[in-house]
Amino acid sequence: MSAAHVVMHKCSLARSSLLNAQCIRRRSAFLLLTACACLCAFAFSSCARVTPPPTQIERAGEQMSRGIELYRKGDNVGALGKFNEALRSSILVDYREGVAEAHNNIGAVYLEQGKTERALDSFQKALSAYAALNSPRGIATAQVNVASAYSALNQKGQAERNLMDALEITESNKLPALRAKVLNNLGILAKEKGNLQEAKDLYQQALKLNENVGDQLAVAENLTNLGTLSLAMNDPDAALDLYERALEIDKQLEASTAIGIDLFNIAAAYQVKEDYASALRYYTRALDIFSLHQNDRRMAETLYRMGLVRQKTGDVKKAQEHLETAHELASAAGLKELDEMVVSELNSL
């Protein structure tokens, strides 16, 4: 596969804590409303009730919810802090569900940061915790994420085994949203094996499930991956259409990291079309987002692509600047494979 065809997949990570956190937020709001009613009722008395401080479980839920919000906005450092706070709050009162969810979400942040070994460790801790709770949903969630980490470590066989285990759980327990994530990630593995039609079938199955359950963020993930498949099949126009549809959804959801990935992929499609001006414009927009997130991995990948495009336009000076910065970032982040590609391009200048 040529460098111009390399795009960013959206690998579905399964998160189980959002619903719980939302429930806790509603509970807290109810307590606050009750307290206000009591204060009004006893306006001339000193025995008015005061809203009690949140319990550790409520605090964990609030921290988890805030962490998910920060993660979706691309603030990985802030999200990691909140998830670690949620973990501590959960451990303090032996809230095992909270412990499992916190480990799961900590792993998601590490994976996005490119700290794959740490991510795998956190996901495996989540899997053990969910297994102890005998939670089918939790076990499937963790299996999906463990598979994502193994895939990032290039252990595709182990990743596929975890995904097949998760698929069986989601089918027997009727978990359509999770099943869609499994199908999406199996599609990525199929594409990487060169089984493009199988990948397309899996992505389309996932898309239909996500449309049925109304998960728009997941719909955008499926559209992105179908776009990546179109690009692999040398149909950049179809890829652009799918990427732009994904971008529209992600903008509506203000999913910042996903928006950055969409812009990167649109740039890659223009690069394949040899529309280098458009490619540079979209790569620059993606880089702006990744830079604000301080996401060294995404920044290095984007600068590498920009360096390739600059070479095509004959701007060797700019190409060298982009590649040297990509080298610094990739080397510092321990991204060996990417760094080797960057150094190879630098040596060819």
Instruction: Annotate 6-67 with DSSP letters as a single string.
Output: -----PPPP--HHHHHHHHHHHHHHHHHHHHHHHHHTTT-S----PPPPPHHHHHHHHHHHH
Whether the CB-CB separation of 64 and 21 falls below 8 Å is answered with yes
Q: How confident is the model at residue 32 (pLDDT cuts 50, 70, 90)?
A: very low
Q: pLDDT value at position 46? A: 43
User: What letter does residue 179 receive in the DSSP assignment?
Assistant: H
Q: pLDDT value at position 54? A: 78
Q: pLDDT value at position 236? A: 97
Whether the CB-CB separation of 210 and 180 falls below 8 Å is answered with yes
Distances 207 to 75, 144, 216, 246, 337 between C-alpha atoms, Å: 27, 17, 10, 12, 31
Q: pLDDT value at position 122? A: 97
Q: How confident is the model at residue 277 (pLDDT cuts 50, 70, 90)?
A: very high
Distant-in-sequence, close-in-space partners of 331: CB < 8 Å, separation ≥ 6: 339
> What is the spatial distance between Cα 345 and Cα 122, in angstroms, rounded to a whole number?
35
Q: How confident is the model at residue 29 (pLDDT cuts 50, 70, 90)?
A: very low
Structure tokens at 5: 């065809």
Span 42-55, average pLDDT: 55
Distant-in-sequence, close-in-space partners of 321: CB < 8 Å, separation ≥ 6: none
Please identify which residue in the block is written with the tokens 């880089």: 287
Span 19-36, average pLDDT: 31
Span 91-107, average pLDDT: 95
> What is the spatial distance between Cα 21 and Cα 2, in angstroms, rounded to a whole number?
43
For all residues of the chain together, what is the average pLDDT?
A: 87
Please identify which residue in the block is written with the tokens 């039609």: 197
Q: pLDDT value at position 74? A: 83
- 187-243 residue pLDDT tens: 999 999 999 999 999 999 999 999 999 999 999 999 999 999 999 999 999 999 999
- 119-175 residue pLDDT tens: 999 999 999 999 999 999 999 999 999 999 999 999 999 999 999 999 999 999 999
Structure tokens at 329: 């970032």
pLDDT tops 90 at residue 38: no
Task: Catalogue all structural domains in the chain, each as residue range(s) with its CATH number.
Answer: 57-134 (1.25.40.10)
Residue 307 identity (one-letter amino acid): G
> What is the spatial distance between Cα 241 and Cα 227, in angstroms, rounded to a whole number?
8
Three-point CA angle 296, 181, 247, nearest 5°:
55
